[in-house]
Amino acid sequence: MNKFVAFLVKFAATPCRPFFPVKVYGERNIENKKSLIVGNHISGWDPLIYTMWTKNLVSFVYKAEFDKNLFLRWVFQGMDYIPVHRGEADISASKKILRLLKDDKAVCLFPEGTRNPTVDCLQPFHTGAALYAIKTKSPIRPFYIWDKTKIFHKNYMIVGDEFTLEEFYDAPTDKHTLEKATEVIRGKVDELRVKLNAILDSRGVKRRPRTKKEIKRLQEYERSRAAEVPAQSDSEFLQGEGQ
Query: Mean pLDDT across the chain, nearest whole number?
Result: 88
Q: What's the pLDDT band for 235 if we cut at 50, 70, 90?
A: very low
Strand 59-63 and strand 155-159: the pairing is unpaired
Beta-ladder partners of 82 = 61
Q: What's the pLDDT band for 228 if we cut at 50, 70, 90?
A: low
Give the span between the Cα atoms of 156 and 201, in whole angstroms. 12
Give the span between the Cα atoms of 100 and 61, in whole angstroms. 12
Q: Chain centroid to CA 102: how far?
A: 20
Q: What is the DSSP letter of 127?
A: S
Beta-ladder partners of 16 = none
Give the per-residue pLDDT at 223.
77
Give the span between the Cα atoms of 197 and 221, in whole angstroms. 23
Domains of the chain: 3-236 (3.40.1130)
- pLDDT above 50: residue 231: no
Give the per-residue pLDDT at 137.
96
CA-nearest of 26, 14, 59 to 242 is 59
Give the per-residue pLDDT at 242.
55
**Higher confidence at residue 212 or residue 110?**
110
pTM of this prediction?
0.86
